[in-house]
Structure 1
Amino acid sequence: MNFLRMITRLVLFGFISVTAFLDFALIGNWLKGAARIRYQGRWLSRYSKAICWMINLKIIRIGNPAPAGILASNHMSYIDPFLIASQTPVIFVAKHDIRDWPWGGILTRCGGTLYINREQRSDVGRLTSGVRTIAEAGVPVGLFLEGTTSDGTHVLPFHPGLLQPAVEIQSNVLPCTISYRVKETGSSEGVSWYGDVTLLPHLLQLLSYSSIEAIIQFSPVEPATDRKKLAAKLHHDITNRLADSRERLKISPSKPHAPVHHGHAA
């Protein structure tokens, strides 16, 4: 582990975060309605670009993000939202417990995150209302349909229920595929946060890497009609594109690991 690089980036991380939160407190906190939503999407995009620069994330983008609608992605790590948001203003859907995280709670509140508790059926209606409001403001809504993080070698089953808001508001859905390669390891190991991996040691190790390569692919939009058929189609598309990305990055195989429910996913 490169301790000097890690400490330098921790200092930069603190400076970037404090500056961003002050920005929101002075400007975004006073806005209302659609103006606030659009500001939150742009705010998260600016913050994410700074975070990607800080960790020396070298990004290859294939395709273009849609200006609005639903953006559905595979999920490997806590840096996934930053990678996506660095390419487009976006507001994410996340598990309700993330709002209680010391830093994650502040970040997600400033970024306008829609929190969901999948154990409460009433949350689906509230989520649909929130997605509709954001879509009407012209900002994409980001979903991680696996509901948890994986090791990045494959795509876990999708939760069709998370696509119900897209069906109800008749929104297009943009498939998004992400993959990483750490220079030091030659694989996505070190970026993927899954299984029983503890957050803090993983984060410190990630901050010590010299650079990380990432490919983010935006596929053609899909109309939201039947949520189960749409989930299957999205899963097929993202699975194929993940394999293509791993081949392009020449990623070494990672050791298989059982997923657990943590991360930014809904």
Structure 2
Amino acid sequence: MSTWLPASPCTPRACAAHDGPARHPLRAAALLLAGCALTLTGALGAPLVLLLGREARERLTRRWAYGVVRAFGVRVRVVGRPAASCGGPGSLVVANHVSWLDIPLVAAVCPGRMLAKSDIRHWPLLGPLAALGGTLFVERDRLRALPATVRAVASALRGGSRVVVFPEGSTWCGRGPGGRFRPAAFQAAIDAGAGVQPVRIRYLGATAERRAPAGAAAFVGDDPLAASLWRVVRAAGLTAEIHILAPIPAGSLAGRRALARLAQSTVASESANRSAESVHH
């Protein structure tokens, strides 16, 4: 197996169980319809949003993405640095990867061009929306495509775009340290002279005061998207928590592997668990 094809040991059976309070199926169905409808609205409106200036586009994207997460019945908690300081234009945002919810969650705080596997292009609703939003797609099963991907990311960073990457390359269940950060995207940051903005994602159940990770949000292995969507809307009290960590300035480290290790340890560090800056209900 190629190093460009990272594998996670997490499986739906082991990671995605929900043992907390559950919503009534009718209420869950209403949330599912609301979330899908708002996602579709974003897909249809994306061409018009692209005509706006950068600040207006980011402001609207934040509000829409936050609305999508909330429409699926998930609360959002932002921890750490002010969301307005999330890397700035021309920075590489890196995060651990747990769920499809990570995409709108990060966009609600640090909107930017996503680097995603090419399979997502074919997802219903989310695929067309990702393409319209300027997502950079990578064919993970073609190692020869890696240098072109690095060049594309570096070019986007030089052009002032914020680029969002999940360097683990695969989703993990959200328990434990997660996967190793792959260095390719960090080479793009070095080539472009861009800073790195680490963020950490966690999903908590109704007993959030005990900091217990929630399995309902995990989207791992061969889990069907429809099953994951239903599990999320059925889980009452689910909170998505995003930590905005201290940025890593451009030029801090010369090598992509050292930069990847620093970003990974920053995201995985328990010292990132600071008090919440804001909680949106």
Say yes or no: TM over 0.5.
Answer: yes
Distance 1:163 1:214 in 2: 26
Residue type of the alignment partner of 2:41: T
Q: Deviation of residue 102 (structure 1)?
A: 2.2
User: Which of residues 27, 30, 38 is equivalent to 1:8?
Assistant: 30
How many pairs are equivalent?
Answer: 242
Residues 13-64 of structure 1 deviation map (CA, whole Å, 9 limit, x = unaligned): 2331232223224x146x4xxx687776555433311112212313132114
Q: Deviation of residue 177 (structure 1)?
A: 0.8
Counterpart check, 1:204 vs 2:230: yes
The corresponding residue for 1:49 is 66
CA contact (8 A) 2:113 2:134 kept: yes
Distance 1:95 1:63 in 2: 29
Moved more, 172-181 or 134-143: 134-143
CA contact (8 A) 1:38 1:137 kept: no
Q: Could you state the TM-score of these two structures normalised by the residue count of structure 2?
A: 0.76
Distance 1:229 1:18 in 2: 40
The corresponding residue for 1:157 is 180
Distance 2:198 2:135 in 1: 20
Counterpart check, 1:61 vs 2:90: no
Q: Deviation of residue 196 (structure 1)?
A: 4.1
Residues 113-156 of structure 1 deviation map (CA, whole Å, 9 limit, x = unaligned): 00012343453343344334433453311110100011111221
SS at match of 2:257: helix
Counterpart check, 1:103 vs 2:125: yes
Residue type of the alignment partner of 1:66: G
CA contact (8 A) 2:46 2:129 kept: no
The corresponding residue for 1:230 is 259
SS at match of 1:86: helix
Q: Deviation of residue 70 (structure 1)?
A: 0.2
Distance 2:166 2:239 in 1: 21
CA contact (8 A) 1:45 1:90 kept: no
Q: Could you state the TM-score of these two structures normalised by the residue count of structure 1?
A: 0.79
Q: Deviation of residue 93 (structure 1)?
A: 0.2
Distance 2:64 2:155 in 1: 23
The corresponding residue for 1:86 is 108
CA contact (8 A) 1:145 1:162 kept: yes
SS at match of 2:217: coil
Distance 1:77 1:206 in 2: 10
CA contact (8 A) 2:158 2:192 kept: no
Counterpart mapping for 1:1-266 below 5 A: 1=22, 2-25=24-47, 27-28=48-49, 31=51, 44-54=61-71, 55-64=73-82, 65-68=86-89, 69-154=91-176, 155-183=178-206, 186-222=212-248, 223=250, 225-241=254-270, 245=273
Unaligned runs of 5+ in 2: 1-21, 277-281
CA contact (8 A) 1:41 1:139 kept: no
Moved more, 53-62 or 93-102: 53-62
CA 1:92/1:39 → structure 2, altered by over 3 Å: closer, same or farther? farther
Residues 208-257 of structure 1 deviation map (CA, whole Å, 9 limit, x = unaligned): 2233223212222223531001111111111114x754x989xxxxxxxx
CA contact (8 A) 1:62 1:215 kept: no
- Higher relative contact order, chain-length normalized (CA < 8 Å, sep 6+): 2
Unaligned runs of 5+ in 1: 250-266
Distance 1:140 1:79 in 2: 19
